Amino acid sequence: METSLDAKQIAAVLHGLSIPPQPQILVDIQIEQLMPNPDMARITQLIRKDPGLSGTMLKVVNSVHFALKNTISSIQQAVQILGLSTVLNILNGISIKSEMDDATIVQMTRFWDTACDIANISAALAKHLGLNGADEAYALGLFHNCGVPLLLSRFPNYLEVVNQSYLPHDERIIDIENRLLNTNHAVVGYYVARSWHLPVRMCEAIAEHHNVESIFLTNEPYSHDKKTALAILKMAEHLCRNYSALGEQNEDHEWEKIEVPLLSYMGLSEDAFANLRDDFVEKNLLIV
C-alpha cells in the first residue's frame, strides 16, 4: 500500500543528508521520470545501486510517519511502501541538494563502485549458501562503508589514510584511522545507519566489520546471525577486490588473517570458496 508524504515531511527527511548520490544515477532517474509512464521497477533498480539514495528511502519508511511494526531493511520493499509519487518527490529534493565538483566525483567513485559490487555479491553468496536474508546481505554490503564519504568530506587527506590502513601491519584498518583521525569509518557508519533507522543488528555489523579478526579467532560469545552476516560481507569484499579498489593494494592483508577460521565457520574449504568464485565469474556476477 502506497503512503504519501507532504512537502514538509519530505524536507525533514532530507535535512542533514550527507552522503552524495552518484550523479549518473540521478540523471538516469530523471530521464525515467520524463517517460509517459515511469517504470517503478527501473527506478527501484537504480536506487538500489546507490548507498545514499537507498539509505534515504529506508530512513523515510522506518520513520515515525509510517509507524511500521517491523523495521524494513529491503530497499525494494521500502520503495513499494512509499509509492511512486513520494519516491519521486524525495529524489527531486535530493537532486536539488546534490552539487559536487569534478574532483569530489572522482574521489567518490572508489566508494560508489565498491559498494554496489559488494552488495550484489553479498546477496549472491547468501542465496548460493542457502541462507535467508539475501535482502539484508545486500543492504549490509551496500551500507557497510557508508562512513567513508562522510570522512572524505571532513578530511581532505582521507583517501591517503585509507591507502595506509590497507598496508600490511599488525593493526586493524580502523586502528590506523583512529590514530590519524581520532575516528574511523566503521563507527561513523554505525551512527549513519542508526540515523537511517536500519535494524540494530545491521548497525552493529557495520560497527564491527573491521573487528572480524577477534570475532573469528576467539571463542567469545557472538550472535550467530551477526557472525554469519559479517562472514558473507568479508567474503564479498575479498571476491570484489575491495582491498584493490578502495585500498589500492595488491594483496588482501585483512583476509589473510581471517580466511581460515572464517571459511571454517561457514563450512567452506579453500577449494570450495575458489569454486564459488569461479561460478560467479562464469555467471557474470563477478568481473575479474
User: Comparing 149 with 175, which gets the higher pLDDT?
Assistant: 175
Condensed to tens digits (0 to 9), the pLDDT of residues 13-50 reads 445 545 778 888 888 888 888 788 889 999 999 999 99
Q: Is the pLDDT of residue 165 over 70?
A: yes
236 compared with 101, residue with greater pLDDT = 236
d(CA 94, CA 19): 10
Q: What gap in Å lies between CA 235 and CA 238, rounded to an integer?
A: 5
What pLDDT shows up at residue 270?
95
- Domains, the chain, ranges and CATH? 7-97 (no CATH), 102-282 (1.10.3210.10)
Task: Count the Cβ atoms, other than its own, within 10 Å of residue 113.
Answer: 15
Q: Are the beta carbons of 277 and 286 closer than 8 angstroms?
A: yes
Query: Stretch 143-165: mean pLDDT, rounded?
Result: 90
For the stretch 200-259, pLDDT in tens is 999 999 999 999 998 998 877 888 899 999 999 999 999 999 999 999 999 999 999 999
Segment 121-147 mean pLDDT: 92
